[in-house]
Structures are given as C-alpha cells and as structure tokens.
C-alpha cells in the first residue's frame, strides 16, 4: 500500500513529513485506485492582490515548452511574412530597371519565404492552441480537486448551477483568450517588425502611417471600460440560468406534479432575457467602438498613399518602396482589426477568471490537521462529550449532547423532528466540526484523524440515497472499485437487493438513471446499504436507512444485519419499532441533548415522551408502508425482491 493515494488530479492527502512520522504503522489506503492522468504541475498564484492574468501565470509557465516552441516558430513565421514586401520592393525596382538576374533571385526568395511561412505558421498555431487547451484541462482539474475538498457548509450556501457554470463556461472563456491571445500577440509582433522595416526605409513616411494610432488607443480604452462590467454581468446571469435549468432537471417530478411547467418556462424566459439584455449592450458597444478602432488605421493608408505618392513623383522614393509601404500599412491594420475581439474576449476572460478564483480562494473549513494520523484497525468506541453545534450560530441544534457507545454496541437514537438525530451522524463523519465539546473514536478526537481514514471507518447510509448514473455493480462497488462480482453479489444479498437486481434488464450491469430514479425508493436504499456494507466500516450509521423499504423486506434485511452488526458499532437513527428493535440500547434525544436512555421495554414503561414519539410516527409509518405496497411489496412478495436469510452469514465468512 502507499500513502500517496490520489484524488481526481493526484493531489497528495498529506506531506512527506507526515508520511515519515507514520512509517512505524501500516499505511492507509481505503480504495487504492491509481491516478490515470498526471496531475497539474502547478496551480494559480494564491496572492489575491495580483491581477487575474498574473495569478494564472504559474499554470501557463508549467507548459513553457509548448509556449516557447509556439513563440519561437511564430517569430520565424512572422519574419518570413514581413520580409515578403521588402523582397517585393526589390522585385519591382529590378523590373523597372530591367535587372532580370535580380528579379530571379528575389522571386526565389519570396518562394522560400512562402514555404517558411507555411511550415512555421502551422507549428506555432498548433502549439499555441495546444497551450490554451492544456491550461484549460489543468484549470478544470484544479477546480474539481478543490471542489472535492470544500466543506459541506460551502455547498449549503452555494447553488449548484453557479458551480457548474464556473467550471464550464467560465473556464472556456479563459481558454479562448489563452488560445487566441498569443496568436494576436504574434500580430502585435508583426506590427513591430513591419514598423521597423518602415522606419528603416523612410522614417517620415513611417511617422505618417502611425499618426492615427493615439486615437485607436483612446477608443479602445473607452470600449474596455464599457465591456468589462457587462461581461461580469453576463457571466453571472449565465450562472443563474444554469441554476434554473439544473433545478428544473433535478426537480422535474415536482414541477410536473404541480403542473408548473408554464411557470418554470416563464422563469427561464426572464432569466434568458436578462442575459439577452447584457449581450445586446455588449453588441451596442462593439458596434459603436469597433468600427472606429478598425477604420482609423485606414486613414494612415490614405495619408501614406498621398505623401508617398508625392515623394515618388519627386523621385525621393522608388515605386517599389511605395508599394512596400502600402503592404506594411495593411500589416499594421491587422492587430487593430482584431483589437475589438481581443478587448471583448479579454474582459470576458477577466470576469470569468475572477469568478473562478472566488471558488479557488474559498478555504475548506474541514481539513486534516498538520498532525492528523490515519485510523488503523479501530475498535469502534464512540464518545460524544458535551457537544454543542448549530448550522446557524444563532440556532443551536445540539446543546450539551453527551453519549458513549461501546465497541460492537448497537444504539438507536430516537427523537422528534429537529432534535438533532441526523446531525449526530454528520458530526461523527466530520461533515461539520463541533462548535464546542468533542467527538471521539477510540479516544481520538475525529479532528486529529485523517478524513479519508475516518470516513472509511464510519459508514453512513442516508435516508435519501444518491446513486450515480452507472451500473448497479459500479454503484455498489463505489467504495471498493476493485471488488469482484461475487463480493458485490454477497453485499447485495445481505441488503436483500439481489432478488430485484436479477430481474433487471441486464442484472448487475443495468445502468440506473440519473440519481437512480429508474428504481423505487426502497430499491435505492437497499443498493445504498449494500454499498456501505461492501466498504466494511467498523462503525455503521443507519440514518432512517430503511424508511422507504416495505416491512416484509425490512425484516429480511434486519435478519442479515443482526449477524453483520455483531462485531461493529452501529448507530441506528429511526422511528420504526422494527428498526429500533435492532438496537440493544435506545437513546431519546430532546432539544439537542440526551433526555433518557435504556432498553425499548424500559423506556415504554417509564418515559411518556418516548411513547409520544413512537405514537406520533406510527401513523406515518403505516401510511408509508401502504404507499410502498404498489412498489416494493408486490415485487418482493412475488419473489423478485426477496433475500437469502443466510446472506449475512456468508457475508461474514468473507472477512468483511
């Protein structure tokens, strides 16, 4: 095993000093999947006071070989292009004087320059476009890696559409500038080269050609000042639109159930109109300033023709010189014809980069401490000591919660809605950090344990299971990608899922729809249970994990879980009596603290609040079971969803 197991882009979870400090213990590797792609060799500059391009430069420098190759070949390509009018000047003058030998030499030179332009031009364009795509790929990897490290609190306050927009359209805006920016810079270099030739041939005529440039600069500055805020608005409103689309796609069942399609279409239309307004304003700015920026250099052409023609008539310059100057003036105009696009794309890329940096500058709240250690072979002793926590500081959820769970003990946590039951599970897995007190496993504060080893130790099954749009096998094996089909099958049996899986079109190879919506709620929960069991956590948390499962199937799952929970600490958050019966001890939670605890029978006899909680939810449970009767019950009664009572035993035989 190695201590360098990598995330999506191969970022080390802890440094070499920590690895050395842990050299006397087994190295931890929960999944052990090797990175298939090399991680970015650099990131953005963390100094937030720098401009957006300066912050991006470390990433650009990481591809310096591509950049240098593109720039060098670009210089050669432009040199051959700029040399053609100079050679043409000699050709015209040779033709006028009747020097045939010189005419042949110049013609061959022009042909050589043309071939050079073809070769060097192809190479430099390929390299510079490659640079843009490489930086885009690295930027995507860096952003996704950072998103995986951000805490749950960030996602609690951030719309998914905003994140998706910044990870896609905003990065694409930066890539477009990186791809076309160097090409346009080459045109600026061509401008410098052409100007150099012009000054060398006739300085005063060159000065006449440059006369309109101050006006071009002034108009370009006005254009930039108008486009930048509009570009920012456009990117932000595109993110809003992405959020609306994302919510409508994911919430399509709610939309349709309330026949709210027209209302959502109107909402989308208003958002699209807001984007349209910003884009129209940008178009107005382009139509106002771009023609001026592109047309002013042509005044230079007219002045060159007028002044140069007078010089030619007076015999001061040759006809070839006048033609060469005309060609160079055209070269001077190329950067200005593209200036409008560059300015607009530059402002859009700048606005997009700032939005990207807002994510990359976000500091994760939940991270490994510098002295964090891996949790190796835990026993499963869980301690909550005077825990205080609230998602909102003004509204505490847990208020002095204290509970000790012995290794291998099965404890049910019961309480009314909002009492903090699910919060207990989230704090144990360190989705959030406590505001006060501590959460310990085997006497070690969870804040002193590496996150990946902690979350391998604590397996959490939620009441709203999330399935990926992948095969059933891959969903179950998500925590152990290298698990064999037999191991996945045993886990499915233990969760009473193998029966209905075998009836699917392709069995374990059936691809479920997005979020698993092609399956019933109970089927999704059984796959989620199988996924957690396959990961073999030492501490198992079932957060209403069987709430959508029919009582008949639930009983079969419980029979398997009784054996599976024998040597693992289990926390059961539930309201059903059938689920609570799995526990050896019941803890009653009220207003964020332990109100009472004991066996189910003891609490029934002595705690009216416990009885009230069970009575309040008994009707809900009955209704829920009836709702599932048309789904899971009918399927499983017919034998399609049933399970093997011995599945738990075989599951244990495999050493899990």
Q: How many domains does the chain have?
A: 3
Same domain, 59 and 141: yes
CATH number of the domain enclosing 174: 1.20.1560.10
Q: Which residue has the tokens 């920012």?
A: 232
pTM of the model: 0.67
Same domain, 92 and 22: no
Task: In whole angstroms, give the CA distance from residue 385 to residue 446.
Answer: 12
Same domain, 545 and 405: yes
Determine, yes or no, domain membership for 47.
no
DSSP-assigned states of every residue in 412-443: EEEE-TTSSHHHHHHHHTTSS--SEEEEEETT
| Phi, psi of 212, deg, nearest 5 | -80, -10
In the chain, how many H helices and how many E strands? 24, 10
CA-derived radius of gyration, the chain? 35
pLDDT given at position 387: 93
CATH number of the domain enclosing 464: 3.40.50.300
Same domain, 486 and 633: yes
pLDDT given at position 340: 60
Same domain, 332 and 274: yes
Same domain, 90 and 236: yes
Give the three-state DSSP class for 350: helix
pLDDT given at position 257: 63
The two three-digit tokens of residue 436, written as one number: 């006060």
The candidate with the shortest Cα–Cα distance to 18, out of 331, 278, 417, 371, is: 371
Task: In whole angstroms, give the CA distance from residue 122 to residue 119.
Answer: 5
- For the chain of 656 residues, list the mean pLDDT of each consecutive stretch of 10: 34 35 44 63 85 87 88 86 81 78 84 89 87 86 86 79 76 80 73 80 80 74 73 74 72 67 79 83 79 74 79 79 78 67 74 86 88 88 93 86 92 86 90 92 92 88 80 88 88 86 88 74 84 87 72 67 75 80 87 89 88 71 40 34 43 44
Same domain, 230 and 175: yes
Same domain, 26 and 71: no
| Structural domain for 296, as ranges | 52-360
Task: In whole angstroms, give the CA distance from residue 625 to residue 421.
Answer: 22
Q: Which of 326, 360, 394 is the last residue of a domain?
A: 360
Determine, yes or no, domain membership for 558.
yes
Same domain, 214 and 291: yes
The two three-digit tokens of residue 126, written as one number: 């390929």
Same domain, 299 and 254: yes
pLDDT given at position 548: 58
Determine, yes or no, domain membership for 45.
no
The candidate with the shortest Cα–Cα distance to 337, out of 295, 289, 299, is: 295
Burial class of residue 99 in the structure, from the number of CB atoms within 10 Å of its CB (0-12 exposed, 13-18 middle, 19+ buried): middle
pLDDT given at position 494: 83
Same domain, 426 and 546: yes
Burial class of residue 198 in the structure, from the number of CB atoms within 10 Å of its CB (0-12 exposed, 13-18 middle, 19+ buried): buried
With residue 411 as reference, give the H or E element that holds it. Answer: strand 410-415
pLDDT given at position 251: 67
């Amino acid at each position: 095993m190695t201590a360098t197991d990598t995330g999506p882009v191969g970022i080390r979870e802890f440094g070499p000093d920590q690895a050395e400090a842990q050299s006397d213990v087994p190295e931890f590797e929960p999944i052990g999947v090797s990175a298939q792609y090399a991680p970015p060799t650099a990131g953005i500059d963390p100094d937030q006071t720098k401009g957006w391009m300066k912050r991006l430069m470390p990433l650009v420098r990481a591809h310096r070989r591509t950049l240098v190759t593109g720039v060098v070949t670009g210089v050669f390509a432009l040199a051959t292009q700029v040399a053609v009018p100079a050679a043409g000047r000699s050709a015209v003058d040779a033709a006028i004087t009747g020097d045939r030998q010189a005419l042949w030499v110049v013609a061959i030179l022009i042909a050589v320059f043309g071939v050079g332009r073809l070769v060097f031009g192809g190479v430099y364009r390929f390299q510079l476009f490659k640079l843009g795509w490489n930086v885009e790929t690295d930027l995507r990897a860096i952003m996704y890696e950072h998103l995986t490290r951000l805490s749950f609190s960030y996602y609690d306050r951030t719309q998914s559409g905003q994140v998706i927009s910044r990870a896609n359209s905003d990065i694409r805006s930066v890539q477009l500038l990186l791809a076309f920016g160097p090409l346009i810079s080459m045109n600026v270099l061509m401008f410098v080269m052409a100007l150099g030739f012009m000054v060398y041939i006739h300085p005063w005529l060159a000065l006449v050609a440059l006369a309109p440039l101050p006006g071009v600069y002034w108009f370009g500055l006005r254009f930039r000042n108008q486009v930048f805020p509009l570009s920012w608005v456009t990117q932000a409103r595109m993110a809003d639109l992405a959020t609306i689309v994302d919510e409508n796609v994911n919430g399509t069942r709610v939309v349709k159930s309330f026949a709210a399609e027209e209302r959502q279409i109107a909402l989308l239309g208003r958002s699209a109109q807001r984007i349209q307004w910003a884009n129209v304003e940008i178009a107005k700015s382009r139509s106002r300033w771009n023609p001026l920026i592109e047309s002013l250099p042509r005044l230079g052409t007219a002045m060159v023709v007028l002044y140069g023609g007078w010089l030619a008539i007076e015999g001061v310059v040759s006809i070839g010189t006048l033609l060469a100057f005309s060609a160079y003036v055209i070269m001077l105009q190329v950067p200005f014809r593209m200036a409008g696009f560059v300015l607009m794309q530059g402002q859009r890329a700048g606005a997009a980069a700032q939005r990207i940096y807002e994510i990359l500058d976000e500091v994760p709240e939940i991270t490994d401490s510098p002295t964090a250690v891996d949790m190796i072979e835990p026993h499963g002793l869980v301690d909550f000591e005077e825990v205080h926590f609230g998602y909102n500081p003004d509204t505490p959820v847990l208020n002095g919660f204290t509970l000790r769970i012995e290794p291998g003990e099965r404890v049910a946590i019961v309480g009314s809605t909002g009492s903090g039951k699910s919060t207990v599970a989230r704090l144990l897995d360190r989705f959030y950090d406590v505001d006060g007190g501590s959460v310990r496993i085997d006497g070690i504060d969870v804040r002193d344990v590496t996150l990946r080893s902690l979350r391998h130790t604590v397996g959490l099954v939620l009441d709203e299971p999330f399935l990926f749009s992948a095969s059933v096998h891959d969903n179950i094996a998500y925590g152990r990608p290298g698990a064999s089909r037999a191991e996945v099958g045993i886990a499915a049996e233990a969760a009473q899922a193998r029966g209905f899986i075998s009836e699917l079109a392709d069995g374990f190879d059936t691809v479920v729809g997005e979020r698993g919506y092609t399956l019933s709620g109970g089927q999704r929960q059984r796959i989620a249970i199988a996924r957690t069991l396959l990961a073999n956590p030492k501490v198992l948390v079932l957060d209403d994990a069987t709430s959508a499962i029919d009582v008949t199937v639930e009983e079969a799952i419980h029979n398997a879980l009784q054996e599976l929970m024998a040597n693992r600490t289990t926390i059961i958050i539930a309201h059903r009596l059938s689920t609570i019966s799995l526990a050896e001890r019941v803890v009653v939670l009220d207003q964020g603290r332990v109100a009472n605890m004991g066996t189910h029978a003891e609490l029934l006899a002595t705690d009216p609040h416990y009885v009230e909680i069970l009575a309040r939810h008994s009707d809900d449970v009955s209704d829920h079971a009836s709702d599932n009767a048309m789904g899971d019950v009918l399927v499983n009664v017919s034998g399609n969803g049933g399970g093997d009572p011995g599945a738990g035993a075989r599951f244990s035989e495999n050493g899990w």
